Structure 1
Amino acid sequence: MSTRQLADLVGTSHSAVVALEKREAQGKVTLEMVTKFAQAMGCKFVYGIVPEAPSESLDSIVSAKAKALASELLKRVEHSMSLEKQGSDAADSKAQVERLALELKTKMDSRIWDNQA
């Protein structure tokens, strides 16, 4: 479809369509504008957020972040416990990390999204 044809469908000028295309290329187009143009073409505009790595899902990203946070939180507790000579074995520590990570994820704890190394 030409820009002139699209302008006629939307009920706007050819120059407005060209300007929209420029803004779109610059990443400055509004969702409202794109929706209007999609509707004029008998379409529905849909957008989404997807993981950068094709092999990942949002769930796997959240799980990894929850596990990292759980590890960090429990590392602090284990440090305090070691100062009091109350350590835990590796298997128990791993199970605690898994339990806490699941709890953080289930409760959608916002700390999951804090910047982590």
Structure 2
Amino acid sequence: MKPDLRHKARNRLDERLLPLKPTDRFKAPPKGWIRAVRDALGMTGVQFAKRLGVSPQSVDALEKSEATGSIKLESLRRAAEALDCTLVYALVPNNSLEGTVRDRARRIALRDLGRVAHTMKLEAQGTGDADLEARIGAYIRDALKDRDLWDQP
């Protein structure tokens, strides 16, 4: 994918995911969403088990696996359907995707330019910090590509 298309794709995803913030609104209840919805509906474990076509013991294991975070997405989807719910699954970035890429590029540029500045100081050719932002912008524009940002941790 070309850089401009990636930029547009990041912006589109950022716009779509914005309504999901702040994410703390979606923090699962202590016993999990399945149990919370089932209890709110007044549905017993035995009734839920029948709807799922499993044993009551399996319902208990299912609810515990959700509460501990080890549930499979397919199991969660089936449980949601049995509760007449829709499973909504999303990865919501802590920062905007565009901001993440911009911050990562800046960090790499500062690291790489710092190496060059150190070498130039050793050779008595140091540059001042006055044009640092311009050099960072030029380095990101001319030397860094999106795919290069994630080669290192």
TM range (shorter): 0.7 to 0.9
Matched to 2:79, the amino acid is F
The within-5 A match list for 1:45-64 is 45-52=87-94, 56-64=95-103
Matched to 2:133, the amino acid is K
- What residue number does 1:108 align with? 147
State the Cα distance separating 1:26 from its structure 2 match: 1.5
State the Cα distance separating 1:79 from its structure 2 match: 0.9
- What residue number does 2:28 align with? none
With the length of structure 2 as denominator, give the TM-score of the two structures.
Answer: 0.58
Contact 1:35 1:44 in 2 (8 A): yes
Counting helix residues as a fraction of each chain, which structure ranks higher? 2
Q: Report the Cα distance in structure 2 between the residues aligned to 1:73 and 1:32, rounded to whole angstroms.
A: 45
Unpaired runs of at least 5, structure 1: none
- What residue number does 1:93 align with? 132
Q: Report the Cα distance in structure 2 between the residues aligned to 1:7 and 1:32, rounded to whole angstroms.
A: 16
Q: Report the Cα distance in structure 1 between the residues aligned to 2:87 and 2:138, rounded to whole angstroms.
A: 40
Unpaired runs of at least 5, structure 2: 1-37
State the Cα distance separating 1:47 from its structure 2 match: 2.2
Q: Report the Cα distance in structure 2 between the residues aligned to 1:6 and 1:98, rounded to whole angstroms.
A: 58
State the Cα distance separating 1:107 from its structure 2 match: 1.8
Seen in structure 2, the aligned counterparts of structure 1 residues 62 and 27 have a Cα distance that, compared at 3 Å, is same
Seen in structure 2, the aligned counterparts of structure 1 residues 99 and 40 have a Cα distance that, compared at 3 Å, is farther
State the Cα distance separating 1:84 from its structure 2 match: 1.9
Candidates 63, 75, 80, aligned match of 1:21: 63
Structure 1's consecutive aligned runs of 4 or more residues displaced over 4 angstroms after TM superposition are none
* Equivalenced residues, count: 109
Note the aligned Cα RMSD (angstroms). 2.4
Seen in structure 2, the aligned counterparts of structure 1 residues 100 and 35 have a Cα distance that, compared at 3 Å, is farther
The answer to whether 1:72 aligns with 2:111 is yes
Q: Report the Cα distance in structure 1 between the residues aligned to 2:140 and 2:83, rounded to whole angstroms.
A: 46
Contact 1:70 1:101 in 2 (8 A): yes
Contact 2:101 2:146 in 1 (8 A): no
Matched to 2:75, the amino acid is M
- SS of the equivalent of 2:147 reads coil
- SS of the equivalent of 1:15 reads helix
Percent of pairs with identical residues: 37
